[in-house]
A = this chain, B = another copy of it.
């Protein structure tokens, strides 16, 4: 991986003087084309050996191109807001919108690398690497261009450089304790890096190792690779063109789908309901005031047909909570800023901090429900969403954010009755639209899509809870109970670990 980058590559002054202005102008023009098309973002990740020129390279790129459309991000220790959410949250925040460029120092590799070096947590390191690979795959699938550079120096060259820099009063400040530490443990770090780079060398996002000793070689190498990659990416057939060929998911040959088999008509008498509601709300309230609740967070997801009772169920939950503690996020069409980002971006931004609860009224599952059925997302896009969603929810779970997902199931007759009743009640009319009737015509498609969804995303860590909801009272109690059980289980689990 690094051998070719220890050969002593060099570009002489004359060649650089000839090539630099041409490269620079082409980069600038290409940047403006990118901005003009605004159909994909470019992420340039700079990693490598200290003093191999990461900072200089970033400065040069900002100088060559228009810095108004480039953002750069370095990552120190996570701040309060970042620490209170899954580790990848901070990186999602720095993703550039379509048409723009971001330069990330180290990026999502910094974390696992330090983890690996600071101890023997090999398993966690492995898992982080897997996670990174999947994250990068997602970026590529969303159309993004990710360019990963490793600026390299051999151990000897690094040692000499640090010595020289330290000797001169004017440059000594450039050498940090971290750099010296790196130099002392060079072999070990390079071994770990090699395995990390090799594991994350994907066709969509290969590592580009560049020898960092000669500034002119480095500059032209990185610059030309960026130019070439962006041009290639622009020339690709569009995502939609590329993906029509994926084979569809077929419904079971006998037509029997999971969601056809649910019992829907469980009963619960009004008096029993009242008593149980109060008991459950009290239980939920107490759980959220448990001291250890401050170390966890809760994401509640509601999906189901129109008029299945999502709103009413949500209000029975929130009524038990302190207003300071929760947020309800209704998911409708994405905003302009959200459309310029990968699909999951708009959910990442709403994740609860520790001690908080976010209730999603509809969710990321829209990808495999309405977007699948209406053809808003190409088939390959919603099909890969199953895996991406499972990965997303696993990250939440790892960060001690439990994910509690409800599918509220009603019969087609019950929906009709509720639609009609809404139309007859003055102040409920806002709740029923033309679109609801159109969706109803696609009832069967929704049952098929939702059955696939449950099959493919009901994981052990974030299972779907299928709630028969023809009787609202029954549904509400079951939902509260399930939520309480889930929180209680997590509070108990933490205790054992300690």
A318 within 8 A of B: yes
Checking B66, B71, B335 against A311 with a beta-carbon cut-off of 8 angstroms, the contacting residue is B66
Known: A68-B311, A79-B81, A336-B337. A322 touches B25 (CB 8 A): no
Judging by beta carbons under 8 Å apart, are B318 and A67 in contact?
yes
Checking B173, B321, B328 against A68 with a beta-carbon cut-off of 8 angstroms, the contacting residue is B328
Judging by beta carbons under 8 Å apart, are A68 and B314 in contact?
yes
A461 within 8 A of B: no
A63 within 8 A of B: yes
Contacts of A103 in B (CB 8 A): 323
Known: A68-B311, A79-B81, A430-B36. A58 touches B330 (CB 8 A): no
A167 within 8 A of B: no
Contacts of A329 in B (CB 8 A): 68
Judging by beta carbons under 8 Å apart, are B68 and A330 in contact?
yes
Judging by beta carbons under 8 Å apart, are A318 and B71 in contact?
no
Judging by beta carbons under 8 Å apart, are A58 and B430 in contact?
no
- With CB as the reference atom, state the residue of chain B lying closest to A78: B80
| A390 shortest CB reach to chain B, Å | 26
| A433 shortest CB reach to chain B, Å | 12
A427 within 8 A of B: yes
A116 to B319, CA, bound (A): 36
Q: Number of A residues contacting the other chain (C-beta, 8 Å)?
A: 47
* Mask of A48-89 contacts with B, CB within 8 angstroms, 1/0: 000000010011011100111111111000011100000000
* Mask of A294-337 contacts with B, CB within 8 angstroms, 1/0: 00000000000000000100110011011110111110000111
Judging by beta carbons under 8 Å apart, are B63 and A319 in contact?
yes
A318 to B58, CA, bound (A): 11
* Mask of A99-132 contacts with B, CB within 8 angstroms, 1/0: 0000101000000000000000000000000000
| A68 shortest CB reach to chain B, Å | 4
| A325 shortest CB reach to chain B, Å | 9
Judging by beta carbons under 8 Å apart, are B315 and A63 in contact?
yes
A228 within 8 A of B: no
A32 within 8 A of B: yes
A179 within 8 A of B: no
A184 within 8 A of B: no
A378 to B362, CA, bound (A): 39
B-contacting residues, A349-381, CB 8 Å: 361
Judging by beta carbons under 8 Å apart, are B336 and A67 in contact?
no
Checking B62, B319, B427 against A318 with a beta-carbon cut-off of 8 angstroms, the contacting residue is B62
A164 within 8 A of B: no
A29 within 8 A of B: yes
- With CB as the reference atom, state the residue of chain B lying closest to A105: B324
| A338 shortest CB reach to chain B, Å | 9
Among A68, A81, A327, chain B packs the most CB atoms within 10 A around the CB of A68
A289 within 8 A of B: yes
Known: A81-B79, A337-B337. A430 touches B32 (CB 8 A): yes
Judging by beta carbons under 8 Å apart, are A318 and B63 in contact?
yes
Contacts of A66 in B (CB 8 A): 311
- With CB as the reference atom, state the residue of chain B lying closest to A289: B173
Contacts of A324 in B (CB 8 A): 55, 58, 72-74, 105
A28 within 8 A of B: yes
| A299 shortest CB reach to chain B, Å | 15
Checking B55, B59, B67, B330 against A314 with a beta-carbon cut-off of 8 angstroms, the contacting residue is B67
Checking B72, B81, B330, B337 against A323 with a beta-carbon cut-off of 8 angstroms, the contacting residue is B72
| A361 shortest CB reach to chain B, Å | 5
| A63 shortest CB reach to chain B, Å | 5
Contacts of A72 in B (CB 8 A): 323-324, 327
Judging by beta carbons under 8 Å apart, are A322 and B79 in contact?
no
A71 to B315, CA, bound (A): 14
A324 to B46, CA, bound (A): 12
A326 to B67, CA, bound (A): 10
* Mask of A420-455 contacts with B, CB within 8 angstroms, 1/0: 000000010010000000000000000000000000
Contacts of A311 in B (CB 8 A): 66, 68
A19 to B459, CA, bound (A): 47
Known: A55-B322, A67-B314. 20 other contacts (CB 8 A): A29-B427, A32-B430, A36-B430, A55-B323, A55-B324, A58-B322, A61-B323, A62-B323, A67-B315, A68-B311, A68-B314, A68-B328, A70-B328, A71-B327, A79-B81, A80-B81, A103-B323, A105-B324, A335-B336, A336-B337
What are the 6 tightest A-B residue pairs by CB atom distance, in nearest-first order? A58-B323, A79-B80, A68-B330, A74-B324, A72-B323, A336-B336
